[in-house]
């Protein structure tokens, strides 16, 4: 198993460091946040604030470098990777993948890169919010582009599997479209709902319960993190936002004209059933040989059909798909 070097020790980076150590790897981290570095050190981890030194050590040990900083800070980390560890296997845990792929191609063109995104909550942040089990059972997208080196991809997938995640192979663009739907739109609708609720004053606070509490929960996330992920996914988010706007506008029109909301409410109920059916579908085990000429297409198709990878072996991967 390769060593792991994590840059950024917040919720995600801190949990990557913990789970890599728990899996028996040698792992160290660096962050510009003195408080996160100190908290990690107090907890017994090899952590500091000298990012360049951590990367030089990664280069010496041929470690996997994990960028675990928010999107606005990714370019600066990549510049340092280019300076100190350009030949290392490189991944990231940023919540959008197309923009990071663009930055990697621009700033570290020689990188041995496969982007990643563990799909976990963002309501809490910082080292203290992380834990070794954060990724257990969660989806962790590991990106496959047409030029992705599948040996590199396997190294990144192994890191995610070690952490207990389901590895979902996808292109960056398929990832970004899907997270616009299931993560970024929910954050925007929660913000709208929390705002409209807030306008209801103390009475709204007194009467709000289940449906409002559920629908607004993520509106309490740190605004700068939500901005980074939603604004960073602008291209994929716009058409999804238009879909929601069109449907809400039609809902308004129907309520105003006929007074009926069956179309909206039935469509939502049907959406829930469809998603539950996908989740509950019987799955079969598949094997993808990584030296096959269509291996990249095979991996991406598996991810797009709701499947995931369960094991990485020498030259092949095992997965499950409906």
Of 76, 129, 231, 310, the one binding a copy of itself (CB under 8 A) is 231
Contact 78, 99 (CB under 8 A): no
Q: Is 303 in the site for a copy of itself (CB under 8 A)?
A: yes
Q: Is 186 in the site for a copy of itself (CB under 8 A)?
A: yes
Q: How far apart are CA 29 and CA 69, in angstroms?
A: 12
Of 187, 286, 310, 316, the one binding a copy of itself (CB under 8 A) is 187
Name the one range near a copy of itself by CB under 8 A: 21-29, 50-58, 71-79, 177-185.
Answer: 177-185
Contacts of 195 (CB under 8 A, 6+ apart): none
- The total of other beta-carbon atoms located within 10 Å of residue 13's CB is 27
Nearer to a copy of itself, 45 or 135 (CB): 135
Q: Is 284 in the site for a copy of itself (CB under 8 A)?
A: no
Letters for 25-64 (x = contact with a copy of itself by CB under 8 A, - = none) are ----------------------------------------
Residues 101-160 interacting with a copy of itself (rule: CB under 8 A): 119-121, 123, 138-139, 141
Name the one range near a copy of itself by CB under 8 A: 2-10, 53-61, 128-136, 297-305.
Answer: 297-305
Sign of CA dihedral 112, 116, 122, 124: negative
Of 59, 73, 133, 193, the one binding a copy of itself (CB under 8 A) is 193
3-state secondary structure of 136: coil
Q: Is 318 in the site for a copy of itself (CB under 8 A)?
A: no
Q: 21: which 2 tokens?
A: 């150590």
Q: Is 243 in the site for a copy of itself (CB under 8 A)?
A: yes
Q: What distances in angstroms separate CA 241 from CA 87, 254, 312, one per listed residue? A: 39, 20, 37
Nearest residue to 127 via CA among 5, 242, 17, 218: 17
- DSSP code string of 289-310: ETTSTTHHHHHHHHHHTT-EEE
Residue 20 Cβ vs a copy of itself, minimum distance, rounded to whole Å = 22
Q: Is 282 in the site for a copy of itself (CB under 8 A)?
A: no
Place of tokens 């291209």: 235
Contact 308, 161 (CB under 8 A): no
Of 53, 261, 287, 313, the one binding a copy of itself (CB under 8 A) is 261
Place of tokens 């807030």: 198
Q: Is 20 in the site for a copy of itself (CB under 8 A)?
A: no
Contact 122, 12 (CB under 8 A): no
Name the one range near a copy of itself by CB under 8 A: 42-50, 62-70, 85-93, 204-212.
Answer: 204-212
Of 33, 67, 95, 216, the one binding a copy of itself (CB under 8 A) is 216
Residue 134 Cβ vs a copy of itself, minimum distance, rounded to whole Å = 12
């Amino acid at each position: 198993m390769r060593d792991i070097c994590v840059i950024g020790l917040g919720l995600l980076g801190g949990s990557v460091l913990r789970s890599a150590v728990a899996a028996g790897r040698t792992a160290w981290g660096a962050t510009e946040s003195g408080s996160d570095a100190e908290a990690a050190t107090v907890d017994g981890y090899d952590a500091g604030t000298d990012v360049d030194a951590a990367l030089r050590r990664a280069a010496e040990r041929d470690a996997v470098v994990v960028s675990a900083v928010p999107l606005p800070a990714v370019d600066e980390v990549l510049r340092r990777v280019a300076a100190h560890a350009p030949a290392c296997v490189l991944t990231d845990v940023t919540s959008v993948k197309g923009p990071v792929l663009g930055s990697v191609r621009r700033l570290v063109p020689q990188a041995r890169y496969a982007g990643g995104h563990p799909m976990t909550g963002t309501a809490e942040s910082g080292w203290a919010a992380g834990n070794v089990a954060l990724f257990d059972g969660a989806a962790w997208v590991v990106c496959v582009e047409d030029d992705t080196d599948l040996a590199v991809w396997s190294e990144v997938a192994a890191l995610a599997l070690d952490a207990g995640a389901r590895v979902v192979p996808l292109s960056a663009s398929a990832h970004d479209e899907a997270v616009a739907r299931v993560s970024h739109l929910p954050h925007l609708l929660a913000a709208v709902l929390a705002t409209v609720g807030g306008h209801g004053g103390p009475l709204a606070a007194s009467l709000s319960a289940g449906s409002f509490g559920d629908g607004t929960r993520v509106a309490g996330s740190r605004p700068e993190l939500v901005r980074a992920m939603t604004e960073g996914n602008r291209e994929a988010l716009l058409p999804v936002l238009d879909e929601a706007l069109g449907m809400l506008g039609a809902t308004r029109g129907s309520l105003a004209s006929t007074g009926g909301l069956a179309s909206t409410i039935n469509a939502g109920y049907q959406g829930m059933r469809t998603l539950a059916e996908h989740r509950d579908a019987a799955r079969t085990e598949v094997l993808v040989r990584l030296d096959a000429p269509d291996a990249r297409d095979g991996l991406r198709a598996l991810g797009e059909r709701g499947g995931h990878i369960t094991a990485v072996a020498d030259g092949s991967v095992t997965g499950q798909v409906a």
